[in-house]
Structure 1
Amino acid sequence: MLPVLYRAIGTAAHALLSAVLPVLHFTVPGWETEQRLGRYQCDFARAGPLIWIHAASVGEVQAACVLIAALREQIPSSYFFVTTMTRQGRDAARLRLPQPVRCELAPLDMPQAVRRALREVRPDVYVCLETELWPTMLREISQAGIPALLLNGRLSERSFRRYRLLPGFMAELLKRFSAISVISEQDSARFRQLGAEQVQVCGNLKYDLPAADAGAMREKYQRLLKPDGKRIFICGSTRTGEEELLLPVCRRLRQETAGKLLWIIAPRHLNRIDEVRSLLQEAGLDCKLLSECAAQGRRKDIVLVDSLGELADLYALGDVNFCGGSLVNKGGHNIMEPVRWHRPVCFGPFMQDYQDAAELVLSAGAGFQARDANELAEQLSALLHDERLHQQTCQAAERLAAAQQGSAQRQAELVMRELQTKGRV
C-alpha cells in the first residue's frame, strides 16, 4: 500500500511541477526544474559502459571521486554521470571531477522524471553511495533491467530505528540492489536486519589511504626535531579561538610530565602563524617555527608548523594528537590522518563535517571525543600516563587503518562484476 501511495503522490507532484515550470524558471533562481524533472539533454557518444553514480551532497562526492579513480584504472573506456541532491554537491563534483564526467542535479523521485532521466542517460549500471534510498528510482531501474549497487553504505542507529518501523517496505527496497557494500560490521548487521541480501564489508572509500611505514615516518621527524625523550603532543589544523582553549591543556600536560613535553601546533591557515605566535608570547611561552628547526635545530619546546602539506605526515610523531576545528564550531578536520600512522587521536564535539570518521574512530577504539577542553585534558593525560591504554589505542588505530585499505578497489570490483555480467566490458 505504501509504495503505491508514494508513486501516486510523485505522479501528482510531477504534473503540478510541469504545469508551473515556466513560472518557476523565472521566479525561483537556482531551482533548475529541467534537471529535477529528468531533462538532461544527454548525448553520450560512448564506446564503453556508462556508470551513473548518485551522491547526496559534498561528503558523498568525496567518495565518488575515489571510486571513479579506481574504476578508471579497471575500465579505462568507462563514462560517468554523477548526480547529487544539492547544488553544493553538484558544484563540488564539477570542481573536483575531471572532464568528461557529467555532473548534474538528481531527478526528483517521481515516476515520470525518473523514466525520462533513464531514457536520456541510458546507464549500464546505477551506483548509489552511502544510504540514498529513493524508492521510485530503484523500482524503475529494476524494471528497466539496470543493475543497482549500494556502495560505501552506512546506517546510523537513529536511521536504523526509523527504518525498522517499515520492515516490509525496507526489505523490498534493499533487495533491489544486486550488491551492497558497507563500511563496518555494525552497518552490515543493521542492513541484514532490515532484510538486505548480498551484503559485504569493504571499508570506507573516503579513507582508503595507501599503506605506509609508520615507524620510518616517525624516525624521520625524530631526526628533525630531536625530542630527547620528551612526550610529543601535536595539535593539527587548529582554528581561531582554539589555541586559547588548548593553552591550559598544554600547561597541565607539561606539569604532569615534569616539563618533558614537546608541543607542536599546526594552524589550519598559515596566515595565522603570527597571530598564534603572539598569543603564545603573551602567555609567556617561546616557540620556534618548523622551518627554523630544520635550519638551526630545535631549541624550544613549542614548535609552530609553517609549511603546507607537512601535517599529514607529522602526525606519525605524536604520542598524542588533537585534530582541530572541533573544539570551536568549524566542523572538524580529517581525524583519519593520525590513524593512518597508528597513533591515537582526540577531538572535540564539533565534528559535523567528519561525523562518519568520528563514528569509525570511536567504534574502533582508535581515539576519543571530548565535550570541552577540560575533558580533552583528561583524555590526553590518561593516554600519556596509562601505557596499556596508549598501546591499545595505537593497535586499534592500526587495525582501523588496515580495514580501510583497498576499499576503493574492492568496491570497484563489484561494479566491474555487474558490467561483465551484462557483457559491457
Structure 2
Amino acid sequence: MTALARIGLAAYRWAGIIGYPAAGLVLRARAMRGKEDRARLSERLGHAAFERPHGPLVWVHAASVGEMMAITALMRELRRSQINVLLTTGTVTSAEIAWQRLKNEVIHQFVPLDLGPAVRRFLDHWQPDLAITVESEIWPSTLMELHQRQIPQILVNARLSDRSHARWQRHPAVAQSLFSKLSLVVAQSDVDAERFRDLGAWPVTVSGNIKVDTDAPPCDQAALSTYERQIGHRKTWAAISTAEGEEKLAAMVHRALRASMGQLSIVVPRHPDRCDEIETMLVAQGLTVARRSRNDAVTPQTDILLGDTIGEMGLYLRLTEIAFVGRSLYQGGGGGNPLEPAVLGCAVLAGPHVENFRETYQALVRNGAARMVRDAEMLAKGVHYLMNEHLVRHKMADAGMEAVQQMRGALTTTMKVLEPYTNPLTVKARLEPQQAAGE
C-alpha cells in the first residue's frame, strides 16, 4: 500500500470515528423521511436484535430488494446445509420483503453504518465465519475489519458499472488496497471480471447473473383475478421501475394512445414513496388514477393504475404483455432489471441507458425479446405497434422466456466455487447443535 493510500484510508477511518456520535441524529432525520425504520435504528449502529445462534454462521449482505431476491436461493442452499444465515439489508423496503418471505429461514438485521465503532460492535456479536456480499457493495471500514479478523469476504453476482469503475480508477492505490482484501470475486460477466482484476481483486471467476435463476415473482391470485375482471378486454401496457421524469413520459404515451386504443397504463415507480407526487402530476394532466395501496377499483374511466405497493411486481406484470423497463431513458440511470418481465412473458422495451444490465439486454435483443427506444415518441410508437401486432408481441414474449432459460446456471456455478468456503462450515454444522433462525 502506498503512503497516499494509507493516509486516505486512515482519514476515512478517523472520519467515521469522529462522526459516530452524530450518527444517531442523522439516522433519526432519515427515519422522519421514511428512509429508516425508527424502531430499528440501533441495528444501524451495530446493536443486535437477536442472540447469535450456535454453530457456523454466514453473513449475507444484499443492499436492496433486487439483490436480496437474487441471493435468496443461495441462502436457502446454505440453510439446507444447516448453516445459519444472517441477512443484512440497507432499505426499509428490503427489510419488509425479507420479513414477508424469509422470516423463518434467516436472521434479518439492518446493515451497520460503515463506521468503525458500529462495524466492530456488529462483528463482535455475530462473529460470522464467512461474509458474502451481493453485486457491488464495497465499504472500506467493514472490509478492513473483516480482513483484520481473518473472516473471508466474497463478492457474488459482482458487477461494476461504468461510473463506479471510472471512479475507482481515479484512486488506484486505494482500490488496490481494498479490492485485494476480497477472498474471492464471482463476477456476472467477463467485462465485470476484468474490471475487478484491474482494481486489484484476485481470484476472480465468472458465473453469469444469478438473478436469472430466481423464480418468477409471486402474485396475489385473488387480486389478480379482481383486476383482470375489472380491466376486461382493455389493452394494457406497463412502465415499471421508473425513475423521476419517466412517469411524466408514461403519461405522455398514455395521452397519445388513449383516443385510438382506450388502454389502461400501469405505472410502477422504483420508489413507491414518490407516488403521492406522481399521482398529483398525473391528475394535473387530466388523468384518472387508481392506486393499488388504496384498493381503488379499475373502472372503464381509469387511465392509470399506479403500483405503489412493495413486492407486487409479479401482480403488475401479469396484467400486461408489454413492459417498458425504466431508469433507462435518461443518462446515468443504468437501467432496470428486464428479467422479471421477460420470465413472465412480456415483450420488453427500454431506453438506451442500460449499462447496469448490458449483457442481459444484449442477450434479449439478440433473441428478439427486447427493443430499445430513444424517447417518449418512439416509446409510444413501440407500445402502439405491440398492442396491435399480437403475433409480434407473442413472438417477443416467447423469445424472452427462451433467452432467460439459456442464461440460467449462474447459481449452480456460484455454489460450486463457494464450496472451499462452505464445505468446512457444513461439516462444522453437523458437529455442533443448531438453533432455528431468530431464536
Q: TM-score range by the shorter chain?
A: 0.5 to 0.7
Alpha-carbon distance, 1:201 to partner: 2.6
Match of 2:119 in 1: 114
Deviation per residue, 1:331-370 (Å, 9 max, x gap): 9986324423676411468x9xx98458732575242343
Paired residues of 1:209 and 1:404 also in contact (CA < 8 A) = no
Paired residues of 1:51 and 1:125 also in contact (CA < 8 A) = yes
Among candidates 163, 166, 169, match of residue 171 of structure 2: 166
Paired residues of 1:237 and 1:333 also in contact (CA < 8 A) = no
Paired residues of 1:209 and 1:405 also in contact (CA < 8 A) = no
Q: Which has the larger radius of gyration?
A: 1
Match of 1:278 in 2: 301
Match of 1:39 in 2: 47
Alpha-carbon distance, 1:144 to partner: 1.8
Asked if residue 417 in structure 1 is aligned to residue 416 in structure 2, the reply is no
SS in structure 1 of the partner of residue 163 of structure 2: helix
Asked if residue 55 in structure 1 is aligned to residue 62 in structure 2, the reply is yes
Match of 2:220 in 1: none
SS in structure 1 of the partner of residue 301 of structure 2: helix
Match runs of 1:313-328 below 5 Å: 321-323=322-324
Q: Compared with structure 1, are the counterparts of its residues 233 and 403 closer, same or farther at alpha carbon in structure 2 (3 Å cutoff)?
A: farther
Q: Compared with structure 1, are the counterparts of its residues 52 and 90 closer, same or farther at alpha carbon in structure 2 (3 Å cutoff)?
A: same
Q: RMSD between aligned alpha carbons?
A: 4.9
Match of 1:375 in 2: 378
Deviation per residue, 1:144-179 (Å, 9 max, x gap): 221111012111111111111122332332222222
Match of 2:183 in 1: 178
Match of 2:151 in 1: 146
Alpha-carbon distance, 1:381 to partner: 7.6
TM-score, scaled relative to structure 2: 0.63
Match of 1:216 in 2: none
Aligned length in residues: 359
Match of 1:285 in 2: none
Task: Report 1 or 2 for greater relative contact order, CA contacts < 8 Å, sequence distance ≥ 6.
Answer: 2
For the residues of structure 2 that align with 1:312 and 1:28, how far apart are their CA atoms?
Answer: 35
Asked if residue 235 in structure 1 is aligned to residue 242 in structure 2, the reply is no
SS in structure 1 of the partner of residue 378 of structure 2: helix
Asked if residue 29 in structure 1 is aligned to residue 28 in structure 2, the reply is yes
Match of 1:98 in 2: 103
For the residues of structure 2 that align with 1:190 and 1:117, how far apart are their CA atoms?
Answer: 30
Residue ranges of structure 1 left out of the alignment (5+ in a row):
212-231, 255-261, 281-307
Paired residues of 2:347 and 2:397 also in contact (CA < 8 A) = yes
Deviation per residue, 1:247-272 (Å, 9 max, x gap): 645888x9xxxxxxx98977876756
Q: Compared with structure 1, are the counterparts of its residues 11 and 150 closer, same or farther at alpha carbon in structure 2 (3 Å cutoff)?
A: closer
For the residues of structure 2 that align with 1:311 and 1:335, how far apart are their CA atoms?
Answer: 14
Among candidates 65, 69, 76, match of residue 69 of structure 1: 76
Paired residues of 2:44 and 2:112 also in contact (CA < 8 A) = yes
SS in structure 2 of the partner of residue 44 of structure 1: coil
Residue ranges of structure 2 left out of the alignment (5+ in a row):
31-39, 217-233, 269-290, 304-312, 430-439
For the residues of structure 2 that align with 1:106 and 1:70, how far apart are their CA atoms?
Answer: 25
TM-score, scaled relative to structure 1: 0.64
For the residues of structure 1 that align with 2:161 and 2:329, how far apart are their CA atoms?
Answer: 24
For the residues of structure 1 that align with 2:301 and 2:49, how far apart are their CA atoms?
Answer: 57
Q: Compared with structure 1, are the counterparts of its residues 4 and 33 closer, same or farther at alpha carbon in structure 2 (3 Å cutoff)?
A: farther
For the residues of structure 1 that align with 2:14 and 2:347, how far apart are their CA atoms?
Answer: 53
SS in structure 1 of the partner of residue 120 of structure 2: helix
Asked if residue 125 in structure 1 is aligned to residue 124 in structure 2, the reply is no
Which stretch of structure 1 is more off in the superposition, 333-342 or 113-122? Answer: 333-342
Q: Compared with structure 1, are the counterparts of its residues 398 and 61 closer, same or farther at alpha carbon in structure 2 (3 Å cutoff)?
A: closer
